[in-house]
A and B are shown apart, each in its own frame.
Chain A
Amino acid sequence: MNKREINIPILYNSALLSEQIKEVCAGLEEEGVPFSLQERHKTGSFIELGAAAAAMSPLRVGIGIDQNGNVCVHHEKLKQEEPYVQGNIQNGRRLGKNAARLVKGLPLSL
């Protein structure tokens, strides 16, 4: 049996440039929490992507990013339509950090 890798999945729309997602990843890395990037081709809202990421996340926290750069940090135990934190890719660093801090139990920077 494969041991599941511990990380925060980031589901993002394939229309996005990897350059745009880099800051989200940097936020997670600075906090020392591993992540995995996964492209999604079909159009789904960032909230649906986030919920899907959280559902598959071994850490119960996932990130969804849609083609317009809307980002959400979602948690498996929350209602699908109510992600914990929302924002724009322009604040990618902070959103990535917050996802990591949600796992670590540290105060978020909002």
Chain B
Amino acid sequence: MAAKILAGVDIGNSSTEVAIASVEGDHAHFLSQHLVRTTGIKGTTDNVKGIRLALQEAAKKAAIELKDIDLIRLNDAVPVIGDLAMDLISETIITESSMIGHNPDTPGGAGLGVGTTVLIDQLLDVEEKERGYIAVIPKPFDYEWVAHRLNQAESDGISVTGAIVQKDDGVLIHNRLNKKIPIVDEVSLIEKVPLLKLAAIEVALPGHVIRTLSNPYGLSTVFQLDPDQTIQIALVAKALVGNRSAVVIRTPQGEVVERKIEAGRVILIGSKNQQLEVSINDGAEAIMNMYEKLEELVDVQGETGTNVGGMFNGLRHDLAELTGQALNEIKISDFLAVDAVIPTSISGSMAGELSMESGVALASMVKTDKVPVQRVARLLEKEVGIAVEIGGVEAEMAILGALTTPGTRKPIVIIDMGGGSTDAAMMNEAGKIISSHLAGAGDMVTMLINSELALGDKELAEKIKKYPLGKVLSIFHMQLEDGTILFSEAPFPPDTFGKVVIREEKDLTPLSNKASMEKIREIRRSAKRRVFVTNALRALKRVVPTGNLKRLSFVVMVGGSALDFEIPQMLTEELGKYGIVAGFANIRGTEGPRNAVATGLVLSSVRQEVLK
């Protein structure tokens, strides 16, 4: 019997994978594999373009012609589509500009000064000389002229207690003063500093943080506030904690409000008219705990007119658009809530300060009617002129593929960690399969990193997720995450010097973020843990009969996120606690966690032939 050439094609949310094998009797000999980005939304005819490309490349690698392929087997894509949302549950608003809190590299002097704000060129004209003044110095003024002015004011008997400077001139001015004062520089939006108002300025010594203006009672002392006013200003103190320099300006209407946003309740609707509610202010854990009490989720709603209502409506809207279903038909079949930190620019800030507010990130998914894979199959058949058939259920194919990993056997659980969803499936000794699809995966990790580092750049966040960090210490040395030092014979590029860099395979991408390497690493790892460890446990509890994880022995991770340099280890560690052997797959002993479904598609057809 002549060998047949078979191609397995797996269309995923983000990538399309192909495996080509030559099949003779019940023996499959794999020739090649290839991976491309999925073109269009999974399950739509746009996918054909990507499939075609993947097939051509795989055929080239196998040294065959595309037309030599006898049969293409396509996966029956899981009919779920996911989306992400994120919003604040609290926010600090300063209704009038009244503070600057930032960390210029080189402020001038040190100490505390209290006085009335006045423009530098009007300083010599002030009437009450002893009152105490804080000079406001916009960009056009040269440091030598400024220093000269300040010295003259001093000799005229005008008491100057501090200075706010727009340019990076703090040390230069300070060095030229006869009487030393604290100077806060690099205040970009200096034009927003209210003039002729009482202000306090504080600069800490290098390596220290301010102590008076970050203490509510320090502020109440400086501004002689009554208890009610102290309660009001306490939020300013809170916002200034940890800064090396700060300015607080009292404006009559200056009022800081911590607006507790009407964050709203999440309404979980279960089968048999079960309905549970939880306030989103209680945090992600409380929401997920409540979710666990539900037998089966039928839909989730957010209280209308609140933030969470807005989030779920947005998700529904996106999902309706993606699936082409009517808005009222969209039922959220799973969701994952994760606590998140959302940097929010303080309204009325003068140096671009951000305050880290608490929020919640949500991943959710809907079951779609049925992904029209048939249409994709028909178009593909027409375009390449090769017979196309739709293989079995995706979970089954993935398990068949995963079982080619050396050292595994049934019963086995696979966790497919993709970009949009985390899918799990269990196969028992008898070959029976239970599977489950959960919202939240790689894309959610990217969203969390993007937000918590205030990057505003999804691609950069994606890179931070994927690669380890380093810090360039000198022209020739870089410190790595584990503390070891790497020496380079070629000098590191000037744009990376002194910075935290993302160590891609070949390139270094410098981060302009001021956060330390440790901080960025912690955010990255915590984002991965919050999404994947949570979801792995959730997934296992669903597919394991009785939900008892101790009865499991083999857990194999597949999918794009199983390629991650640290997620699999996190899960190995976490699941090890239950005595589970968990690790990322090595499909066919060579492919790592990739190509499981495509491989399974080929193998399932071999088994069919044997059965005949």
Contacts and interface: CB of A to CB of B under 8 A. Distances in A.
Partners in one complex: yes
A29 B171 contact: yes
A16 interface: no
Contacts of B171: 29-32
Given A30-B169, A77-B476, A106-B498, 8 more contacts: A30-B168, A75-B491, A77-B491, A78-B475, A107-B497, A108-B494, A110-B494, A110-B495
Interface size class of B (residues with CB under 8 A): 20 to 34
B475 A75 contact: yes
A26 interface: yes
Contacts of A31: 105-106, 171
Nearest to B142: A26
6 contacts: A26-B143, A29-B171, A30-B168, A30-B169, A85-B494, A104-B498
Contact of B475 (A26, A30, A32, A84): A84
A59 to B, nearest CB: 12
Interface in A21-47: 26, 29-32
Contact of A84 (B473, B494, B499): B494
Which of A30, A102, A104, A105 counts the most B-chain CB atoms under 10 A from its CB? A30
B172 A105 contact: no
Contacts of A101: 497-498
B498 A29 contact: no
Nearest to A101: B498
A104 B168 CA distance: 17
Nearest to B499: A107
Contacts of B491: 75, 77-78, 82, 84
B474 interface: yes
Contacts of A108: 494-495, 497-498
B170 interface: yes
B175 interface: yes
Interface in B127-177: 143, 168-172, 175
A77 B475 contact: yes
**Chain B binding site: helix, strand, loop or mixed by DSSP?**
loop
Nearest to B471: A105
A26 B143 CA distance: 9
Interface of B: 105-106, 143, 168-172, 175, 473-476, 491, 494-495, 497-499, 510, 512
Nearest to B170: A30
- The 10 A-B residue pairs whose C-beta atoms are closest, nearest first, are A107-B498, A106-B498, A107-B499, A30-B171, A30-B172, A105-B498, A108-B497, A85-B494, A110-B495, A108-B494
Nearest to A85: B494
A31 B171 CA distance: 8
B275 to A, nearest CB: 54
A97 B475 CA distance: 16
Nearest to A61: B475
Contacts of A84: 475, 491, 494
Contacts of A110: 494-495
A35 to B, nearest CB: 13
B106 A105 contact: no
A69 B445 CA distance: 49
A17 B143 CA distance: 19
Nearest to B495: A110
A102 B472 CA distance: 11
Nearest to B185: A30
B238 to A, nearest CB: 29
A102 B498 CA distance: 8
B328 to A, nearest CB: 53
A30 B106 contact: yes
Contacts of A104: 498
B462 to A, nearest CB: 23
A110 B510 CA distance: 12
A19 to B, nearest CB: 12
Contacts of B172: 26, 29-30
Contacts of A29: 171-172, 175
A73 B534 CA distance: 51
A104 B171 CA distance: 16
A33 to B, nearest CB: 11
Contacts of B106: 30-32
Nearest to A105: B498
Nearest to A73: B494
B513 to A, nearest CB: 10
A31 B169 CA distance: 10
B104 to A, nearest CB: 10
A31 B312 CA distance: 50
Contact of B105 (A75, A102, A105, A106): A106
Interface string A84-95: 110000000000
A84 B172 CA distance: 25
Contacts of A82: 491
A30 B165 CA distance: 13
Of the listed residues B170, B475, B499, the one surrounded by the most CB atoms of chain A closer than 10 A to its CB is B475
Contacts of B494: 84-85, 98, 108, 110
Interface in A58-80: 75, 77-78
A110 B494 CA distance: 8
A61 to B, nearest CB: 10
Nearest to A25: B172
Nearest to B498: A107
Contacts of A85: 494
A76 to B, nearest CB: 10
A107 B498 CA distance: 4
A32 B168 CA distance: 13
Most buried by B among A85, A101, A106, A107: A107
Contact of A102 (B170, B495, B497, B510): B497
A108 B492 CA distance: 12
A63 B476 CA distance: 19
A25 to B, nearest CB: 10
A105 B495 contact: no
